[in-house]
Chains A and B, each alone.
Chain A
Amino acid sequence: MPAVTETREAVEQLGQSSYKWGFETEIDMDLAPKGLTEDTIRLISAKKEEPEWLLDWRLAAFRAWQGMKEPTWAKVSYPPVDFQDLHYYAAPKKKPGPKSLDEVDPELLRTYEKLGIPLHEQAMLAGVEVPEGEQARLPVAVDAVFDSVSVVTTFRKTLEEAGVIFCPISEAVREHPDLVRQYLGSVVPAGDNFYAALNSAVFTDGSFVFVPKGVRCPMELSTYFRINARNTGQFERTLIVVEDGASVSYLEGCTAPMRDENQLHAAVVELVAMEDASIKYSTVQNWYPGDENGRGGIYNFVTKRGACRGARSRISWTQVETGSAITWKYPSCILQGEGSVGEFYSVAVTNNCQQADTGTKMIHIGRNTRSTIIAKTISAGRSDSTYRGLVRVLPKASGARNFTQCDSLLIGDQCGAHTVPYIESRNMGARIEHEATTSKISEDQLFYCRQRGLSEEDAVGLIVNGFCRDVLKELPMEFAVEAQKLLQISLEGSVG
């Protein structure tokens, strides 16, 4: 049955106007010249005052990258990216490494306020020694990354008292070099793939989290990424290490201004979970998706991988992807520790001309490892969305179990949804289940809701949120509310 004409039209009408984070901040920038050579890398490394070993690591990654080809197996198409036509370093001009909010450009703070990230308020709480009672407000520590550098990290003091390190990775390189050196590239090696190699060569900032043995991180940690400068690639690198019996919940959000030209975002996220450790990594990705004709938007080529090194460790990826012109992203779990658990919950929304090829990889190495994959795909307009997932069970992974469920929801008759599951089992005792459905929002459902008094917008929102419920309920409370609103905005915007 065809979807309702109005919905289709409304969805098609969705243009730039509905992307309310599309503003640009006027701010003095320190830009590296365009282009990528060894000199660019030396410049970045020097700007960051990095040790020799890191520069060598970057250069090795760069040489590896030069010999690599862009992957073409994903179901996305775009004109070739000119990697020499980008700035690889862009930082708000000011004293390097702000230590407190007073040193941060007020224009930046206003930007984050517009984005709904009240750094100021939170930092004030942190700055004046948080009274015990204030913890009841469920604070979230935020690391804000503006183009290439981290501009501010809040709540550091409270975290320090708990023994948790949460800081920009550039600072971690200076302050905790041994930790960074031990774990950087240990999950995603420098030469892992084309974009990961590029990231390793030129990454500029990102977050570093270290939760020591037995510590439950006392608050949610959050990084907010904002691309602002023109012709700039953002290459952030996040490293999260959680020791035995420790746990952390980490949130990631991202936006960018509206631009005609495409911008490149190639991040790497590495997670390490030791024995009985648990990491919950949630993303609400809302990079600028381009206009209704597919002009502009972010190319989001991201490598995210977690290693469950210790027995009974657990890594859970939850993502709500509504932005980007192109998404190429497969948050994965390497289930090495005996009885370790990997989870992937995903909602991917594409509209207009967006393309998304996203999914996960679950690599079962240890005995009795378990993984769950719930992927919800919503396609509207002329967009194309693909779930691509790998479940691999190695010979020693006796008792491994996987459950995969992929559901696609189509709105209109010009969009596409595809499911590409790869299943490789080399252990006879493994149990792998895969379920997949494709459905449309039917005329019947919309009419039923409207007959009960709901507007068409609210009806679509209700149905889509119902469709995504299994994933949304995995998000931390506040994030879930934000994600619900985002789903509604991405799909309906200009109706009424």
Chain B
Amino acid sequence: MTQFLDISGLCARIDADGQEKEILKGVDLSIPPGEVHAIMGPNGSGKSTLAYVLAGREDYEVTAGSVTFQGQNLLDMEPEERAAAGLFLAFQSPIELPGVNNANFLRTAVNAVRRARGQDELDAVAFLKTARAAAKELSMSPEMLKRNVNVGFSGGEKKRNEVLQMTLLQPSFAILDETDSGLDVDALRIVAEGVNRLRSPTFSALVITHHQRLLDYLVPDRIHVVAKGRVIHSGGPELAQQIDREGYTRFLAEAEAA
């Protein structure tokens, strides 16, 4: 059955210092519309690579498999086309853009996406009004809109800024790559609430995390365990507690045995 997002047999490698390194080794994953799925797994298992490949980062070469997103071949699309189609990636380490005003960046991005989606562009006044309201909901000071993109932001401010961008770009599918790392409990809750506000029958998300705590606030429909470049186990939200108690050893052993 065709889902909202269908990843099938996805293999990808990266050229690291002249050496080809296989990172994804046959990822199978489907996300229906309106569902939030979580990905957990040991370090170096390919979680972030999966996020990058879905978003279209060109350092990675897809060697096999397919990704269908709302009926389209995602792998054929440029990163900006994927963004226009509704895909959003919240970066694990948000990038700094010196000299680029945050509000200006956000408006340029929002209008680029709106143009591509056949919607009217927002003028500066309308945009600022929307952006200020969205920032307030994330407990961000309006001053942050005036600063340069991510320059001099604390770790927590950067993550909130990612969620702010997500809120304004109105994606149908968001990938959150360890958005919870480095956040204190309060910030974690604010960020999780930001994502929860977007939840609707037309919004899906893939949440990459190491910690069960985020999943307390952001209860996923499914949890997938990724190791050694593949999904080795899937289950319901209760899986998070099990991983928290037992670690990944059992899943890894089962995967070896199979």
| Interface residues in chain A, defined as those with a beta carbon under 8 Å from any beta carbon in chain B | 4-5, 442-445, 447-456, 458, 462-463, 465-470
**Least distance between A377 CB and chain B CB atoms (Å):** 14
In the complex, whether B121 has a CB less than 8 A from a CB of chain A is no
Q: Are B112 and A453 in contact (CB under 8 A)?
A: yes
B103-122 interface code vs A (CB 8 A; 1 in, 0 out): 00100111011001000000
* Sample (6) of A-B pairs whose CB atoms are under 8 Å apart: A453-B110, A454-B112, A462-B97, A463-B100, A466-B99, A470-B99
User: Which of B's residues lie within 8 Å of A, judged by CB?
Assistant: 55-59, 78-80, 82-84, 88-89, 91, 94-101, 105, 108-110, 112-113, 116, 148, 165, 169
Task: Verify B109–A452 contact, CB threshold 8 A.
Answer: yes
CA distance A275 to B59 in the complex (A): 59
Which residues of B lie under 8 Å from residue A470 when comparing CB positions? 99
Q: Which residues of B contact A442 (CB under 8 A)?
A: 95
Q: Given known contacts A447-B57, A449-B105, A452-B105, what 11 new A-B pairs fall within 8 Å (CB)?
A: A444-B95, A448-B97, A449-B97, A450-B56, A450-B79, A451-B55, A451-B91, A453-B109, A455-B112, A456-B80, A465-B100
Query: Taking the nearest CB of chain B, how far is it from the CB of A408, in angstroms?
Result: 13
Q: State A454–B57 Cα separation when bound (angstroms).
A: 14
CB contacts (< 8 Å) of B79 on chain A: these are 447, 450-451
Report the nearest B residue to A459, measured CB to CB. B80
Residues from chain A with Cβ under 8 Å of B84 in the complex: 453
For A442, A451, A470, which residue has the most chain B Cβ atoms within 10 angstroms? A451
Q: Measured between alpha carbons, how far is A465 from B109 in the docked complex, in Å?
A: 16
Residue of A442, A453, A458 ringed by the most chain B CB atoms within 10 A:
A453
**Known A445-B95, A452-B83, A454-B80; contact A4-B58, beta-carbon cutoff 8 A:** yes
User: Which one of B82, B91, B98, B116 contacts A467 once the chains associate, using CB atoms below 8 Å?
Assistant: B98
A450 to B95 alpha-carbon distance, docked (Å): 12
Residues of B within 8 A of A450 (CB): 56, 78-80, 83
CA distance A449 to B116 in the complex (A): 15
Chief secondary structure at chain A's binding surface: helix
Question: Known contacts being A447-B57, A458-B108, is A452 close to B165, with CB within 8 Å?
Answer: yes
Give the docked Cα–Cα distance between A237 and B82 (Å).
54
> A453 touching B80 by the CB < 8 A rule?
yes
Inside 8 A of B108's CB, which chain A residues have their CB?
454, 458, 462
Residues of A within 8 A of B98 (CB): 466-467
How far, in whole Å, are A462 and B80 apart by their CA atoms in the complex? 15
CA–CA, A467 and B96, complex, Å: 12
* Bound CA span A470–B101, Å: 12
Known: A452-B169, A453-B80. A468 touches B112 (CB 8 A): no
Q: How far is the CA of A168 from the CA of B188 in the complex (A)?
A: 67
Question: Do residues B59 and A453 form an inter-chain contact, with CB atoms below 8 A?
Answer: no
Contact of A466 among B80, B91, B97, B110 (CB under 8 A): B97
Instruction: Please determine whether B58 and A453 come into contact, CB atoms closer than 8 angstroms.
Output: no
Question: 4 nearest interchain CB pairs?
Answer: A466-B99, A466-B100, A452-B109, A453-B113
Cα separation A462 to B59 with both chains bound (whole Å): 22
Interchain CB contact under 8 A, B91 and A448:
yes
Contact partner, B89, options A443, A451, A455, A462, Cβ 8 Å: A451
Most buried by B among A5, A443, A449, A465: A449
Cβ–Cβ < 8 Å partners of B105 in chain A: 449, 452, 462
List the B side residues contacting A468 at CB < 8 Å: 99
User: Within the assembled complex, what's the spacing in Å between the Cα atoms of A239 and B110?
Assistant: 48
What residue of chain B has the Cβ atom nearest to residue A472's Cβ? B99
A177 CB to closest chain B CB (Å) equals: 48
Residues from chain A with a CB closer than 8 A to the CB of B101 are 466
Complex Cα spacing A452 to B82, Å? 9
Considering the complex, give the chain A residue whose CB is closest to the CB of B112.
Answer: A453
* Residues of chain B within 8 A of A5, CB atoms compared: 58
Find out whether the CB atom of A469 lies under 8 angstroms from the CB atom of B169.
no
Q: Give the CA-CA distance A443 to B59 in the complex, in Å.
A: 9
